[in-house]
Copies of this chain bind each other. A is one copy, B any other.
Amino acid sequence: MNKYGNNSGNAAERLDIHNSEVPEVCAACEARHGGICGALDPQQLLALSKSSSRHRVSSGAELVGDAEAVDHYSNVLSGVVKLTKTLSDGRQQIVGLQFAPDFVGRPFKDESTLNAEAATDVSVCSFPKAALERMIKESAGLEHRLLQQTLKELDEARDWMVTLGRKSAAEKVASLLLLIARNINPYADPESETVEFDLPLTRADIADYLGLTIETVSRQITKLRADGVIDIRNNRHITVPDIARLEVRTGA
């Protein structure tokens, strides 16, 4: 079994013979709508798809190791990837969550400065670092998409800094639930007042994302449930009957 877990397959095997058309594997791909591949024309898509491949990564498996040489990038197609940093004494902090169709990787650096790990079972489309960097040089649109994605991540990181630095434990937990509710199902009606989803994170993950302990996270979730803001089944399945009530709990 390779580092991606099981069930890998090379995308190039099933390419359409008409190379002016969108490659079959890319045709219904998340990453072409909102993801970086949306910047590519059919010919470029074909070129990239020749060296790309889809993988399933099982929960807990590592996509990119901290301080490890990076030789490939990925697009998340489904599932959630957590980006973590660890201090020398073992304290850990999740610094970002990547949902479909986000890009995973740090362009223009040979070594990763963080750890990317599957929080749930994940499927990704991976391609060699060199192939993408070559394509960046040829396609201004691709670099533009990368810039847009990076700016989006920077905005999100800065929003989260406010959560980490200035919110109470109760507000932090509410903020996380809201973040997940808004990202986990990209096709949900954003106007709908009731939302339902499976938590992609364990209590330990939540604690690491919020800068809390698992006990504190558990207590705050219990309180939200006791107050009727959320409903929980099997510790993971969450129902938010009224998103606006959850928003109030985030502290703005």
Q: Which of A117-159 contact B (CB under 8 A)?
A: 140, 143-144, 146-148, 150-151, 153-155, 157-159
Residue of B nearest to A95 (CB): B158
Q: Which of B87, B89, B106, B161 contacts A161 (CB 8 A)?
A: B161
Contact A252 B88 (CB under 8 A): yes
Residue of B nearest to A172 (CB): B165
> A87-B251, A91-B166, A166-B92 are contacts. A157–B161 as well, Cβ < 8 Å?
yes
A217 to chain B, nearest CB (A): 13
A162 to chain B, nearest CB (A): 4
Whole-angstrom distance between the alpha carbons of A155 and B157 in the complex? Answer: 10
Q: Which of B96, B143, B148, B164 contacts A164 (CB 8 A)?
A: B164
Of the listed stretches A28-36, A40-48, A107-115, A229-237, chain B binds: A107-115
Whole-angstrom distance between the alpha carbons of A154 and B158 in the complex? Answer: 9
Question: With an 8 A cutoff between CB atoms, is A211 at the interface?
Answer: yes
Contact B162 A95 (CB under 8 A): yes
Question: With an 8 A cutoff between CB atoms, is A85 at the interface?
Answer: yes
> A165-B164, A166-B211 are contacts. A150–B159 as well, Cβ < 8 Å?
no
Whole-angstrom distance between the alpha carbons of A164 and B158 in the complex? Answer: 12
Q: Which of A216-252 contact B (CB under 8 A)?
A: 251-252
30 A–B contacts, CB within 8 A, in A order:
A83-B158, A85-B158, A85-B159, A85-B161, A87-B166, A87-B251, A87-B252, A88-B252, A89-B251, A89-B252, A91-B166, A91-B251, A93-B161, A95-B158, A95-B161, A95-B162, A107-B147, A108-B148, A108-B151, A113-B158, A140-B140, A143-B144, A146-B147, A150-B151, A154-B154, A154-B157, A157-B157, A157-B158, A164-B164, A166-B211
The interface of chain A, by Cβ under 8 A from chain B, is: 83, 85, 87-89, 91-93, 95-96, 106-108, 113-114, 140, 143-144, 146-148, 150-151, 153-155, 157-162, 164-167, 210-211, 251-252
In addition to A108-B148, A143-B147, 13 A-B residue pairs with Cβ atoms within 8 Å of each other are A85-B158, A87-B251, A87-B252, A93-B165, A106-B151, A113-B158, A114-B158, A147-B147, A150-B150, A150-B154, A157-B157, A164-B164, A166-B211
